[in-house]
Amino acid sequence: MTSAPGRPLRDLADVPVTALHHVGPARAAALAELGVTSIFDLLTFYPRRYLDRTRRAELASLALGEEAAVVGVVRALRARRTSHGRSLVELDATDGDESLRVVFFNQAWRERQLPVGTQVLLYGRLEDYRGRRQMTNPVVDVIVGVDGGARDPTRVGRVVALYPSSERSRLTSWEIGGYVDEALRRSGTLADPVPRALCESLGLVDRTAAFWAMHRPAALEDVEPARRRLAFDEFVRLQLALARRRRRVVAASSGVAHAVDPTDLDVAPGAPGGSLLRRFLAGHRFALTGAQRRVLGEVLADLARPSPMQRLLQGDVGSGKTMVALSALVVGVDGGRQGALLAPTEVLAEQHAASLRADLADLRVPDARVLGGERPLSIAVLTGSLGSRARVGVLAGLADGSVDIVVGTHALLQEDVRFAALGVVVIDEQHRFGVAQRAELVARGRERSDEGRDPDVLVMTATPIPRTAAMVTFGDLDRSVLDEMPAGRQPVVTRWLGAGRESEGWELVRAEVARGRRAFVVCPLVEGSDRVVAASAVSERERLAATELAGLRVGLLHGQMKPAEKEQVMGAFRDGALDVLVATVVIEVGVDVPEASVIVIEDAWRFGLAQLHQLRGRVGRAGDRGYCFLLGDAPSDEARARLTALVDSHDGFALAEIDLDLRGEGTLLGTRQRGRSDLRVASLRGDEDLLVAARDVAANLVEDGDAADQLVGELRLLVEPSEVGFLFQG
Ligand code: ADP
Ligand code: MG
């Protein structure tokens, strides 16, 4: 398939903005401050909003106290200092009929930005100041500067694009629009890497039309189709890069084809003999749920293949992910290889090791080096707090193969950790690891293993990632979902007890303890150092032990405790030597104490929805009724919505969608999880249909060298440097 004629968008990255008639060194420098150095940058520098000149309201018709957008021309401007020494810029603007007073405090630079004659768009609340209309510190878009007003009559259209730069930069929206205009005209027809027939079937406009309508819409209605097309391209690029990455990884990999017998999954309880997996499943306390069986089938199929497994296992809290992970590890061990289970905290690593030891206690593995040719399966723990002698011992066991499964924290990733033959890696609660870290982990598995093969990797997360977000964030992984809870698990009764109603919760804690159950109390999230956090937990425990929970055995767990102390407290709680565990959010992930039936979360509004759902999953695990009490009032509508959602819903995925709604996507793709900075106009929520279509299109285009090269080449220009490494290297 050959691409449509025209100039590839990517090529415009080689044309500097100084190629434009009106851009000299000074303006090029101003553009560079906005991240725009090439024509490519300019075309992908999208307007932040549009002004429809035909629809704007007259100043006179706007009500006081309302937010309004007003277009006016600066008529007079004064700058001075207030009696308190603050800078004050006052201006009068008029929309032709009415005038508006605008004041800016502490924005002295406005004087330079808004000389008399400038045409501006002002957003703010209309106030009354001594009988005149006024705005204080409004948002300002410079539409046409005084000198920029060499009015090109073709440009004074109905709709004006407003660019995100105009506030502080020396460039006005009008100027930027002029450069874009010239860039569009001189670029001519852009090659469209997406075949026309495909665009038509998806109802998408062509690329050139999309760029024109985005920057120079004839009417506001033209913007959305253009945005959709450009959003589609954003998704396709990413999906293509991920698909290519995957292919590269597969091509370069040398994995292990584990010996697997799928019928092992149907082994009857108590049946004797057979593979290690068979013995493990037959001897287990319970039978697999349908979902566990299905997911394990997917995992076994991956393990049997010579290319390394790269699979994401998603399952709500309590859905039984551990069982799946153990089974995968056991398969690896059966072939004489080792397994590694990576946990986010020491408490969890210890807990996993304890349950592994219990679950795998009866299993024996062949070992020619020991008398009888067989020995018990050996499990080691590797955490940062391990004493140096113990550490040396574990490292030796990993290197010579006498340790079969190692459970550890980040300590497993240290340089000196070497394996004889690493077969399977399970990463628990993956959200604590970044995308790039995960990639590195996989790459290192091979270097660290004397066998020189890529381990199979299973990434587990209880964070319900909405499907769309997963496609973007984990698009390079296969995905399995545990969508069924083990039988007998009932939804946790969730109540929000506002200020004054807390006693209801504490009474229930006492009642549950009286019938042999245990309770978690999660301390309020406090700002400050780890020490401050710990101190508040200490005092909260004291308070509770002296008041609401007097007479109960109340323990304490926080991040400043030594690992041995933590383990001792967890052990006491697990064994029933403690009735109540007052904890900071250390317990958030994975802690499994079947007798725990109540969780009280103090100042619940401070926690995110996903985190609250995780915490709630800590209780009611033994087929017993669980209770979750959310304490404290909600100080905002958003917080109220969050707490209400938790009371109303028990579906982690539904809650994740609500969370996305409440917090917006910024936080999902923002900062650490950012990962993908190419989503400038696409919205995971609003454009789900495009994302799904884009994935299919990408799967086809990945075979089409030219189109894929174009799109992936564009992506390279758009993502941040830190992302390039992950996306473009195998
Ligand atoms: P998570 O997915 O949160 O890691 P776990 O693996 O800790 O869930 O399992 C949650 C609880 O359910 C544990 O107490 C576990 O023993 C139990 N469980 C897991 N699988 C089953 C099953 N198939 N039948 C009954 N109980 C199960
Ligand atoms: Mg778990």
CATH number of the domain within which 375 lies: 3.40.50.300
Determine the pLDDT at residue 669. Answer: 33
Measure 292 CA to ligand 1 centroid, in angstroms. 10
Q: Residue 72 falls within a domain, yes or no? A: yes
CA–CA gap between residue 333 and residue 313 (Å, rounded): 20
Contact of 93 with 133, CB cutoff 8 Å: no
Residue 206 lies in a domain: no
We report the CATH number of the domain holding residue 59 as: 2.40.50.140
Residue 329 pLDDT greater than 50, yes or no: yes
> What are the tens digits of pLDDT across the range 30-76?
999 888 999 999 999 999 888 776 666 677 777 787 777 788 899 99
- Predicted pLDDT at 516: 93
For 339-374, what is each residue's pLDDT tens digit? Answer: 999 988 887 888 889 888 988 888 888 888 888 888
pLDDT beyond 50 at 668? no
In a domain, 25, yes or no: no
Measured distance CA(314)–CA(27) in Å, rounded: 50
Residue 198 · residue 700 · CB < 8 Å: no
| Whether residue 529 is found in the same domain as residue 448 | no
pLDDT digit string (tens) for 604-625?
998 888 888 888 988 876 668 8
Instruction: Classify residue 595: in a domain, yes or no.
Output: yes
Cα–Cα distance for residue pair 16/650, rounded to 1 Å: 54
Mapped onto helix, strand or coil, the DSSP state of residue 186 is: helix
Closest to 211 measured CA to CA, from 161, 172, 282:
161
Chain centre distance of CA 220 = 32
Do 432 and 298 lie in one domain? The reply is yes
Which of 125, 157, 189 finishes a domain? 157
Counting ligand 1 atoms within 8 A of each CB, the residue from 265, 295, 323 with the most, and so the one to mutate, is 323
Question: In degrees, to the nearest 5, what angle opens at C-alpha 166 toward C-alphas 15 and 16?
Answer: 5
Instruction: Report the 10 Å Cβ neighbour count for 52.
Output: 14
d(CA 588, CA 606): 14
Band the pLDDT of 586: cuts 50, 70, 90: low
Q: Does the C-beta of 345 come closer than 6 Å to ligand 1?
A: no
If asked whether residues 407 and 498 sit together in one domain, one would say no
Q: For residue 730, what pLDDT band results from cuts at 50, 70 and 90?
A: very low
Q: Which amino acid is at 361?
A: A
Residues 81 and 146 reside in one and the same domain:
yes
Q: From 286, 427, 489, give the residue whose CB has the most ligand 1 atoms within 8 Å, as the site to mutate.
A: 286
pLDDT at residue 175, rounded to an integer: 84
Ligand 1 near 319 CB (within 6 A): yes
Closest-approaching ligand to the CA atom of 489: 1
Task: State the residue range of the domain holding 143.
Answer: 55-157
Mean pLDDT of 268-280: 88
pLDDT of the residue at 183: 96
592 Cβ inside 6 Å of ligand 1: yes
State CA 92 to chain mean position distance.
46
* Other Cβ atoms closer than 10 A to 495: 14
pLDDT at position 720 is: 64
Same domain for 511 and 363? no
Say whether pTM exceeds 0.75.
no
- What gap in Å lies between CA 684 and CA 660, rounded to an integer? 9
Q: In Å, what is the CA distance from 602 to each residue of 209, 503, 541, 632?
A: 54, 12, 12, 7
For residue 101, what are the β-bridge partners? 92, 134
State whether 455 and 539 are in the same domain.
no
Indicate whether 4 pLDDT > 70: no
Helix 207-215 vs helix 223-252: crossing angle, to nearest 10? 130
Quote the number of domains for the chain. Answer: 3
Asked if 535 and 452 sit in the same domain, the reply is: no
Q: Which amino acid, residue 60?
A: A
Q: Is 614 in the pocket of ligand 1 (CB under 6 A)?
A: no
Token output for 112: 């330079």
